[in-house]
Structure 1
């Protein structure tokens, strides 16, 4: 059996991708990325209380802490600084480090050290 130019010594899956529309490639890339999405672990009430105490202590005593933030794709993020403000309505804290600050949502916090 004679092979044509498209199949000669190659994988048909990749040959087919040569004729894919950009929208289809984008959809395939999105699907592949979503397959790698992690789900945030649920924290027990006791863990949430401990985290809240540590955040409050950082604010009252102006001590540095390190916060582990959940990331759906890739490695979790660590942020270090001092808590300077609580926004109860928006459920977030203001974490200052050196000359910069960042607002962090409570829902992103996994642990505090």
Structure 2
């Protein structure tokens, strides 16, 4: 039996099966990404109350705070600014920093410093 240049000792009949279709590669990448998904930890009621107080103090005193936001993939995100608005209906806050602002959902907040 003649040896293959690509893979020594392999059977030439199966060499073409090493090709991965783009659809399969995409599905493999999606599967791998989903395997790395983190679940958000449940905050105790006491922690939620402390976070709410800190957010309120930031708005009342116009003081700067740092908020840790949950990220399902990768590292959690830190945002720094001053709370300028509460939207209780949509359950979010408006965090302003220098020349920019961002709406942050309560459900994304892990901690406040």
Deviation at 1:100, TM superposition (A): 0.3
Q: Distance in 2 between matches of 1:75 and 1:61?
A: 30
1:93 match: 93
Per-residue deviation, residues 41-84 of structure 1 (Å, max 9, x unmatched):
00000000000000011001100000000011111110000000
1:68 matched residue in structure 2? 68
Match of 1:27 in 2: 27
The root-mean-square deviation of aligned C-alpha atoms, in Å, is 2.0
Q: Aligned partners of 1:98 and 1:17: how far apart in 2? A: 56
In structure 2, what is the equivalent of residue 52 of structure 1?
52
Q: Secondary structure at the match of 1:27?
A: helix
Q: TM-score, normalised by structure 1?
A: 0.88
Query: How far 1:19 moved relative to its partner?
Result: 1.5
Q: What residue is the counterpart of 1:4 in the other structure? A: 4
Aligned residue pairs total: 109
Sort the Cα spacing of 1:79 and 1:32 in 2 relative to 1 into closer, same or farther, 3 A.
same
Residues 32/63 of structure 1: CA separation in 2 closer, same or farther (3 Å cut): same
In structure 2, distance between residues paired with 1:16 and 1:112: 55
Alignment TM-score, normalising by the size of structure 2: 0.88
Instruction: Name structure 2 gaps, 5 residues minimum.
Output: none
Change (3 A) 1:4 1:38: same
Gaps of 5+ in 1: none
Quote the offset at 1:31 in angstroms: 0.6
